[in-house]
Amino acid sequence: MHLQPHAPLAPRTTLEVGGPADLLVVADDATTLAAAVTLARDEHDGVLHLLGHGSNVVISDEGLRGVTVVLSGGGVEDVTPQDGATLVRAGGGMRWDDLVAWSVDAGLAGIELLSGIPGTVGAAPVQNIGAYGQALDETFVALTALDCDRGELVTLDGQACAFGYRDSRFKRDWRDRFGIVEVTLALRSEPDGPLSYRDLERHFAEHGGEPDDLAARRQAVLAVRRAKSMVWDPDDPLSRSAGSFFMSPWLPRARAVKLVDGVRGAGAGERLFAWYSAGAAETVKVPAALILLAAGFGNGDRWGRVGLSPRHVLALVNHGGARAQEVADVAAHITETVRRRLGVELRAEPRFLGAFRPFDPEAFAARAPYTPGGAATPAWARESTH
């Protein structure tokens, strides 16, 4: 087991912020992970942090105390036909997009619309990742994890994981308890049905291709995500983010319709929610991007070294040299402004790890002057349909 004291963590995150780990261990198997857990228990008061590729975290400028374990490595370990599906077991440290690419090459459907999402296979159930109408829990069968409290390997099914919208027990009462070393998915030979997201529909209309072809679907998703700087690329400074920073809230239908109409025009809310939230549901999920636009934020808005991406209003971008506290303050400013102007509570998708100062609005205004973005409102926000 290779130990790295005072190891920088910022380069291991897509936001590129954060201080060092007291002690870093890179684990590529369950044995190394178990040894790191024992080390944390015996020599660091049980303080343990589990990281994948750092794509969904904001690590504090002070860094992380105790032992930080980065789960890395692995690949597709087993493929088994069963009951009209194909069970695919992959290592937790495998890059998620590598698994998606493998599945498409193998002609297996179910996760092709999750192309380009950064992070590891083991991190995917933690977030219950989702995009363009697909979510991990739709194909999830089970996972194998090291229970760091008990020091033993366990198998957990979907019911145990308690998946929800961008949520699971691993983000709540199981935080940093389980190191996920394997995930099993049930994939299919054919896509579920037609695409229903306008970004993808527009891509096929403009570039051609067969929307039911898995490879074409993957390339369409990657192209759309790259256009928004939502695929990690060291040559694209706008990808220095944690992806979509805020989760879409659920609101009473009448209130949601009024909010959307204010952004898109009269009648847009009913058209959106007839498609987006199953007909006449009384409580509907409102796209967080529309919430920000309704509250007066826009693409490219900036506060010092942190701002909303000019290509994707939901992404908080480190424009270079930002500190983690700056990211936290901009997120808090946006959250409080939305609460004050709209009465809507926004929740952040990334995890905040380590110690952060409480938000001080006056100090923030003096330290991080606001610069309007001036970027054009994206087409999806202007249009009156989904």
244 is catalytic: yes
Rounded Cα distance between 30 and 151, Å, is 10
Give Cβ neighbours of residue 283 (< 8 Å, ≥ 6 apart).
Answer: 250, 251, 252, 253
| CB atoms near residue 83 (< 10 Å) | 7
Strands of 55-118 (E only): list them: 57-59, 64-71, 76-82, 85-91
Rounded Cα distance between 66 and 328, Å, is 22
166 is catalytic: yes
Give bridge partners of residue 51 from the DSSP assignment: 70
- What is the pairing mode between strands 57-59 and 351-353? parallel
| CB atoms near residue 36 (< 10 Å) | 27
Catalytic one of 12, 89, 95, 166:
166
Catalytic one of 72, 244, 248, 309:
244
Rounded Cα distance between 179 and 234, Å, is 28
Could you write out the three-class secondary structure of 300-356? CCEECCEEECCCCCCEEEECCCCCHHHHHHHHHHHHHHHHHHHCCCCCECCEEECCC
Residues taking part in catalysis: 166, 244, 349
